[in-house]
Amino acid sequence: MPRDLAHLSDEAIVALAARSDEVAFGELYDRYGRVAYGLALRVLRDEALAEDAVQEAFLAIWRGASRFIPERAKASTWILTLVHRRAVDLVRREERRRADPLEDTDLAGAERSAEDVAWLRFERERVQGALRQLPDQQREAIELAYYGGFTQSELAERLGQPLGTIKSRMFAGLTRLSELLDAPAKGDAWAPTPFTN
């Protein structure tokens, strides 16, 4: 029987999926499939591999939903962490990494709603603005690691820097980025999760 799950929070949807609710699982895909695929595509630069990464990540979500603890992280963080992890695993296996900047993905696709478009665009511009405020070397370390899939020791070799320098750049850069994004980043991580949106 069709149900309207739109009013439920991500965390509530995950809790339903943990009880083998396939409709809820489908809703989760509808909410995060495009962001997940966009992320996987950015890391993998290959549509078939990006599909594989998204499929593997969502099956990990399905299997792991019963162990998700909303007090520790938002569902969006958990989901996108899994997607990123799969994408990075695949890119390392496929030796597909490239470091040149990727052209912007078209945002004008078939979004679920105008609010989604606006919110994603706003969030994206906010993060890109914050990234631009980082010192070049810190931004480079973060972008190569997160979007390029390079490990810190690979980055040290690639950039001709001591490993300790790379570690420091990543740590300083990500911490600074967190401060620049400030309240939402902190609030997102630990705030109690409301039952409904």
Per-residue tokens: 103:
């052209």
d(CA 42, CA 146): 10
Smallest distance, Å, CB 60 to other proteins?
Answer: 11
- Site of tokens 């299997």: 63
Using rule CB under 8 A, residue 192 touches other proteins: yes
Of 160 and 193, nearer to other proteins (C-beta) is 193
Q: Is there a contact between 82 and 61 (Cβ–Cβ < 8 Å)?
A: yes
Instruction: Give the DSSP per-residue string, 60-113.
Output: HHHHHGGG--TTTS-HHHHHHHHHHHHHHHHHHHHT----SPPPPPP--S--S-
Please report where in the chains the tokens 């980043």 appear, as a residue: 185
| Given 38, 49, 90, 139, the residue binding other proteins (CB under 8 A) | 38
Residue 44 lies near other proteins (rule: CB under 8 A): no
Tell me how far apart the alpha carbons of residues 191 and 197 are, in angstroms, rounded to a whole number. 14
Of the residues 27, 44, 74, 134, which one makes contact with other proteins according to CB under 8 A:
74
Select 160 or 183, whichever has its Cβ closest to other proteins.
Answer: 183
Within a 10 A sphere around the Cβ of 59, how many other Cβ atoms? Answer: 12
Which residues, numbered 77-136, are part of the site for other proteins (CB under 8 A)? 77, 80-81, 83-85, 88, 104-107, 109-111, 120, 123-124, 126-128, 130-131
Q: 10 Å Cβ neighbour count for 150?
A: 23
**Shortest distance, position 98 Cβ to other proteins, whole Å:** 15
Please select the residue that binds other proteins; options are 137, 161, 165, 178, rule is CB under 8 A. Answer: 178
72 binding other proteins? (CB under 8 A)? yes
* Least Cβ distance, residue 62 to other proteins (angstroms): 4
- Binding residue for other proteins (CB under 8 A) from 46, 62, 140, 165? 62
Q: How far is the CB of 134 from other proteins (least distance, A)?
A: 12
User: Rounded distance, CA 52 to CA 91, Å?
Assistant: 11
CB closer to other proteins, 67 vs 160: 67
